[in-house]
């Protein structure tokens, strides 16, 4: 029967508790999606810090298990059929955990697909667009004299926030009254726009009162507060 030792990633990051789910991550907006989900579930897990400074994600051990060389990633010793499974892509991991533990993804098909719709909205829109704002505002792109690339991504980010703000009117959470993986996917990126990318003024944060309301509510959840710190910086 396969074991965790069969996965190359464990050669560099050995599991001290091979019976637990192994999380390979960093406290980025994508990374904390999964740690927040695990904290919300109350599932015990072992975390391994993947350092971008030392290019851990490019090592043969990491890529041999997770070929897309990105975080977060998980290795679950108790996957389908009782066999280990390795997964990358934060959205896929959220969906896997939601289905495995039957939480944070509605059973009602209408609400289920609404949740998945907004999960894809984050993965295909919010994540890529907000990330480019961060690059051009505070990282390598900040020194570019031509500000058209920055403004292209700022304008698209503002459009996405406007879509979300209108949608949230009269709703507790993104999918309605139920807290779901869509919230866990979207709000780490919105928080990052403010606390990390210094883009509050650029995006006109005051124009999105509904997004601000739900973000504040989300940040009050104890599991969110814990998950945002995993792995410790």
Confidence at residue 48, expressed as pLDDT on a 0 to 100 scale: 98
Tell whether the model's pLDDT for residue 85 goes beyond 80.
yes
pLDDT at 40: 98
Share above pLDDT 70 across residues of the chain, in percent, rounded to a whole number: 100
pTM for the model: 0.97
Whether the bond between 97 and the residue before it is cis, its omega within 30 degrees of 0, is no
Q: What is the mean pLDDT of residues 24-51?
A: 98
Q: What pLDDT, in 10s, does the model give residues 59-70? A: 999 999 999 999
Look at residue 146 and tell me whether its pLDDT is greater than 80. Answer: yes
Question: How far apart, in whole angstroms, are the C-alpha atoms of residue 42 and residue 26?
Answer: 19
CATH class of the domain whose range is 4-103: alpha beta
Burial per residue of 64-99, b for 16 or more beta-carbon CB atoms within 10 angstroms, e otherwise: ebbeeebbbbbbbbebeeeebbbbbbbbebbbbbbe
Contacts of 159 (CB under 8 A, 6+ apart): none
What is the DSSP secondary-structure string of 158-201? HHHHHHHHHHTTT-SBTTBSS--HHHHHHHHHHHHHHHTS--HH
pLDDT of residue 233: 72
Residue 23 is predicted with a pLDDT of 98
Q: What is the pLDDT of residue 131?
A: 98
Distance between the two ends of the chain, CA-based, in angstroms?
36
pLDDT tens profile 158-184? 999 999 999 999 999 999 999 999 999
Cα→Cα distances 93→47, 72, 98, Å: 15, 9, 8
CATH classification for the domain delimited by 109-222, as one of 1.20.1050.10, 3.40.1380.10, 3.40.30.10, 2.70.98.50: 1.20.1050.10
Question: How is the chain split among helix, strand and coil, in percent rounded to 5?
Answer: 60, 10, 35
Mean pLDDT of 92-100: 98
pLDDT above 90 (res 2): no
Q: 181 near 95, Cβ under 8 Å?
A: yes
Task: In whole angstroms, give the CA distance from residue 13 to residue 7.
Answer: 10
Section 125-145 average pLDDT:
96
Count of CB atoms situated within 10 Å of the CB of 51: 10
Mean pLDDT across the stretch 192-210?
97
Residues 6+ apart with CB under 8 A from 216: none
Domain boundaries along the sequence of the chain: 4-103, 109-222
Q: Is the pLDDT of residue 1 over 80?
A: no
Provide the mean pLDDT of the chain. 97
């Amino acid at each position: 029967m396969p074991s965790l030792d069969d996965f190359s990633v464990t050669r560099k990051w050995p599991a001290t508790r091979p019976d637990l789910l192994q999380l390979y991550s960093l406290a980025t907006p994508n990374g904390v999606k999964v740690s927040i989900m695990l904290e919300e579930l109350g599932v015990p897990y072992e975390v391994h810090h993947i350092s971008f400074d030392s290019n851990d994600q490019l090592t043969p051990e990491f890529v041999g298990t997770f070929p897309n060389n990105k975080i977060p990633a998980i290795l679950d010793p108790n996957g389908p059929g009782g066999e280990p499974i390795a997964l990358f892509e934060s959205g896929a991991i959220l969906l896997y955990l939601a289905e495995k533990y039957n939480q944070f993804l509605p059973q009602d098909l209408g609400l289920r697909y609404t949740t998945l719709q907004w999960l894809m909205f984050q993965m295909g829109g919010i994540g890529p667009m907000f990330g480019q704002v961060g690059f051009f505002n505070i990282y390598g792109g900040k020194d570019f004299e031509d500000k058209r690339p920055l403004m292209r991504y700022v304008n698209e980010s503002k459009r996405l926030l406007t879509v979300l703000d209108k949608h949230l009117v009269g709703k507790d959470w993104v999918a309605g009254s139920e807290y779901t993986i869509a919230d866990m996917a979207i709000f780490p990126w919105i928080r990052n726009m403010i606390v990390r990318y210094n883009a509050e003024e650029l995006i006109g944060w005051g124009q999105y009162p509904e997004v601000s309301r739900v973000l504040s509510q989300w940040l009050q959840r104890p599991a969110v507060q814990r998950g945002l710190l995993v792995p410790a910086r």
